[in-house]
Amino acid sequence: FIQFIKFLDTVDSTNSEAKRIAMEEQVLEGLIVSSEQTKGKGRLGRQWESEKESGLWMSLLLRPKVKPEAASSITLVSAAAMAHAIEACTSLNVGIKWPNDLIVNGKKICGILTEMSAEINQLHYIVLGIGVNLGQMSFPVDIIDKATSLKKEGVEVSGKKILSAFLLAFSNFYSQYLEGDMSQIISYHLAHSVTVGKKVQIITPIETRNAYVLDINADGSLLVENELGENEVVFSGEVSVRGI
Ligand code: BTN
User: Rounded CA gap, 112 and 78, in Å?
Assistant: 8
Whole-number pLDDT of residue 53: 84
Distance (Å) from CA 45 to ligand 1 centroid: 10
Note the pLDDT tens digit of each residue in 10-60: 999 999 999 999 999 889 999 999 999 999 999 888 899 999 889 999 999
Distance (Å) from CA 41 to ligand 1 centroid: 5
Q: Where are the domains of the chain?
A: 4-192, 199-243
Give the residues surrounding ligand 1 with Cβ less than 6 Å away.
Answer: 13-15, 37, 40-43, 46, 48, 50, 57-59, 101, 111-113, 129-131
Per residue, the 3-state secondary structure of the chain, as one string, reads: CCCEEEEEEEECCHHHHHHHHHHHCCCCCEEEEEEEECCCECHHHCECCCCCCCEEEEEEEECCCCCHHHHCCHHHHHHHHHHHHHHHHCCCCCEEECCCEEEECCEEEEEEEEEEEEECCEEEEEEEEEEEECCCCCCCHHHCCCECCCCCCCCCCCHHHHHHHHHHHHHHHHHHHHCCCCHHHHHHHHHHECCCCCEEEEECCCCEEEEEEEEECCCCCEEEEECCCCEEEECECCEEEEEC
ipTM for the whole complex? 0.99
Mean pLDDT by 10 residues, the chain (244 residues): 95 98 93 97 90 94 90 92 98 93 96 92 94 94 92 96 98 95 95 93 85 92 94 79 68
Best mutation site among 34, 44, 50, 54 for ligand 1 pocket (most ligand atoms within 8 Å of CB):
50
What is the dihedral angle through the alpha carbons of 169, 127, 204, 188, rounded to the nearest 10 degrees?
Answer: -10
Q: What is the pTM of this model?
A: 0.94
Contact by Cβ (8 Å): 104, 153? yes
Best mutation site among 107, 113, 134 for ligand 1 pocket (most ligand atoms within 8 Å of CB):
113
- The CATH fold assigned to 4-192 is BirA Bifunctional Protein; domain 2 (3.30.930)
Q: Does domain 199-243 have CATH number 2.70.98.40?
A: no
Side chain identity, residue 240: S
